[in-house]
Amino acid sequence: AETWRALWEAARHYSKHVEHQFPPVEGEHCVLCHQPLNADAGARLVTFERFIREDTEKQATAAEKAYDFRSRHPDIRFIGEIRRRIAIHHPTAAAAVLRFMASADLRRLQCLRDIVSPGGMALSPQAALPEAELAEIESEARAYARQLEAAADLEGRKILQAEHDELKDRAAAGHLHDIAGKEIDRLVKLDRLAKCLGQTSTTAITKLGNELADEIITPRMRDRFQREIVRLAAEKVRVEVV
């Protein structure tokens, strides 16, 4: 297509140079093939000329729009709002986006400065766009959106409520840690006091004494002790060992 366009423009310029009508009509010779034209061939050339003019106008209009788009200052307000939201949980990625936008704007200004110069453009290096990080953030956002959609049913709400309660407990754990530690110390001390009180009870001591007497003092020892007491008291005091 570009080759035909170049040939067609060359034929146009040549016809203008020799002061001939372009495109040639029936009975004239074609500038490109040098053959006489009949009615059909002349009509085809006229149609092709119309196509070339319309296509050229379309390309010119598209080029003007592209130039206007690239030459105007980019509106980064929408991007800035998104970047601030990203910065809440992903500050590194947000900073990389800001560097990319600043670098792109600087290169735009340099292009506008050098576009009127005949020499080449001297452009600053373009900062890298954190595509991988942004793709991961997008994936996380879509996953969260799916969770919200799943929460529309009862089972999904239960899962999210459980996650919410767990996060709430984790958030309160730091504040309640000292209180929990004091409560543990108090319970440990109460347990120790209860054990000490149990060991000092007279009922336990009496019970232990009776158990020792039953296990260690045999009937023979008791009888012998009884005789010794009787002998020492000389029958003045009645003593009975039970």
Give the per-residue pLDDT at 96.
92
Tell me the range of 134-143, 197-206, 216-225 where mean pLDDT is highest.
134-143
Tell me which of 127 and 234 has the higher pLDDT: 127
Q: 3-class DSSP state for residue 37? A: coil
Residue 70: band (very low, low, confident or very high) from pLDDT cuts 50, 70, 90: low
Spatial CB neighbours of 120, under 8 Å, sequence gap ≥ 6: 114
Tell me which of 116 and 187 has the higher pLDDT: 187
> Can you tell me the distance from the alpha carbon of 79 to that of 192, in angstroms, rounded to the nearest whole number?
65
Give the per-residue pLDDT at 95.
92
pLDDT in tens, 4-51: 667 767 777 767 766 677 776 676 766 667 677 677 766 777 777 777
* Cα-based torsion angle of the residue sequence 47, 53, 55, 57 in order, rounded to the nearest 10 degrees: -150
Give the per-residue pLDDT at 92.
92
Give me 137's structure tokens: 């953030």
pTM: 0.38
pLDDT (mean) for 90-100: 91
pLDDT (mean) for 96-125: 84
